[in-house]
């Protein structure tokens, strides 16, 4: 396709004190005439910019704004191609330097993301920090990590829960070995916590619902707390996941906890760890993942299988699939009147930057 600019007639061009092709107006003329006249002259100048598009077997004449847009698109396409070519040349140059001088001469560049540029937090947990190690050895979860107690989880729902909440509880019981599910009926939460303590449960997990859909999870570690409230969203049960395996599972799963980097994040991760036994059954090949990204916790439940004589591995999702976000952390067990909150999410006060995260 070729683009040819049609010439404006001499009579029309002589009427305008500016170049109809370049669109330049003298400063003195712009100051003499009003802005409305200048706008009309510019619009008339656009109308004069007619071009002829000559294509094989077709001739089409367009002009005005269409030509301006076509001209801009062609310029943008050329610029984009030049940038792509320069980027490819830089990548080839870096590859050549690595081959000749090694990886240290030209390290692999890391992509610049929101996670990699997150704001510094004073509560970042440093590896082998004596203060953090002492705190973890004396907190409420120390007995579990010192193998002094075994997990015993109680699952229930909010009063008068509907079908979807019960289905989610059934799936959580399928994920958590040895979990027990009971009907709460109209028992107050404070009384339920005291009853679970008396029966020797180590954790209490409650699924809340609103408008017949699960919308929150309360996780209470017994007997000394803490208690965490999570917002639940993006729930998908196994029947809603394409290709999901809904067969029977067995054995203790392996637990994967990713990207919990602050002290608050470590507390949340240790709460999740206390739900599962510390002796994973590797022959069962089940994996439960809590992946924290931008303060959202993604839950996944898989098992992995080996293919081609063990040279390749694949993941088979078992469900359910949902996302959690921490809303509040309360010290001790659930106490709505006199409970002391360690952390509460106040969005308009705390979320001052896209690169500020708390977990």
- Over the stretch 77-103, which tens digit does the pLDDT of each residue have? 999 999 999 999 999 998 999 888 888
Phi and psi of 75, rounded to 5°?
A: -65, -40
Least confident of 2-6, 66-70, 103-107, 108-112: 2-6
Domain boundary assignment for the chain: 2-63, 130-350
Structure tokens that stand for 22 in this block: 């370049």
Query: Which of 182-186, 188-192, 311-315, 323-327 tops mean pLDDT?
Result: 323-327
Percentages helix, strand, coil for the chain (3-state, rounded to 5) are 30, 30, 40
DSSP codes of every residue in 219-284: EEETTT--EEEEEEEEEE-GGGSTT---S---SPPEEEEE---BHHHHHHHHHHHTTS-SS--TTT
Total-model pTM = 0.72
pLDDT for 180 equals 92
pLDDT bracket for residue 11 (50, 70, 90)? very low
Is the pLDDT at 257 greater than 80? The verdict is yes
pLDDT one-digit tens code per residue, 188-246: 888 899 899 989 999 999 999 998 899 999 999 988 889 999 999 999 999 898 888 87
CA distances from 200 to 126, 154, 174, 204, 213 (A): 34, 10, 21, 11, 30
| pLDDT over 50 (residue 2) | no
All residues at 6 or more sequence positions from 232 whose CB lies less than 8 Å from its CB, including other chains? 207, 208, 214, 215, 216, 217, 322, 323, 324
We find that the CATH architecture of domain 130-350 is 3-Layer(aba) Sandwich (3.40)
The span from the CA of 186 to the CA of 188, in Å, is 6
- Spatial distance between the Cα atoms of 148 and 242, rounded to a whole number of angstroms: 41
CA-closest candidate to residue 222, choices 205, 234, 239: 205
pLDDT of residue 28: 45
């Amino acid at each position: 396709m070729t683009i040819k600019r049609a010439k404006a007639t001499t009579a029309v061009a002589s009427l305008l004190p500016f170049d109809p092709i370049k669109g330049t107006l003298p400063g003195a003329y712009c100051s003499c005439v009003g802005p409305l006249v200048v706008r009309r002259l510019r619009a008339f100048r656009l109308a004069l910019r007619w071009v002829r598009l000559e294509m094989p077997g077709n001739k089409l004449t367009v002009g005005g704004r269409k030509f301006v847009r076509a001209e801009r698109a062609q310029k943008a396409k050329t610029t984009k191609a030049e940038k792509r070519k320069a980027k490819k040349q830089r990548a080839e140059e870096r590859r050549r330097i690595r081959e000749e001088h090694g990886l240290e001469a030209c390290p692999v560049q890391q992509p610049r993301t929101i996670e990699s540029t997150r704001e510094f937090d004073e509560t970042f947990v440093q590896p082998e920090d004596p203060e953090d190690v002492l705190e973890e050895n004396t907190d409420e979860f120390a007995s579990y990590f010192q193998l002094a107690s075994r997990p015993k989880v109680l699952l229930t729902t909010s009063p008068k829960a509907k079908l979807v909440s019960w289905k989610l509880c059934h799936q959580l019981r399928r994920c958590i070995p040895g979990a027990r599910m009971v009907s709460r009926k109209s028992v107050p939460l404070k009384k339920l916590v005291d009853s679970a303590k008396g029966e020797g449960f180590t954790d209490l997990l409650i699924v809340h619902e609103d408008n017949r859909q699960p919308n929150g999870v309360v996780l209470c570690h017994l007997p000394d707390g803490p208690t965490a409230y999570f917002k639940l969203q993006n729930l998908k049960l196994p029947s809603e996941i394409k290709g999901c395996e809904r067969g029977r599972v067995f054995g203790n799963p392996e637990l994967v906890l990713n990207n919990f980097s602050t002290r608050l994040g470590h507390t949340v991760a240790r709460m999740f760890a206390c739900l599962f036994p510390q002796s994973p059954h590797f022959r069962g090949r089940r994996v439960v993942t809590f992946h924290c990204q931008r303060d959202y916790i993604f839950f996944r439940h898989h098992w992995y299988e080996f293919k081609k004589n063990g040279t390749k591995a694949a993941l088979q999702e078992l469900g359910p699939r949902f996302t959690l976000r921490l809303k509040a952390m309360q010290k001790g067990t659930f106490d709505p009147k006199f409970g002391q909150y360690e952390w509460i999410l106040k969005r308009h006060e705390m979320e001052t930057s896209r690169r500020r995260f708390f977990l």
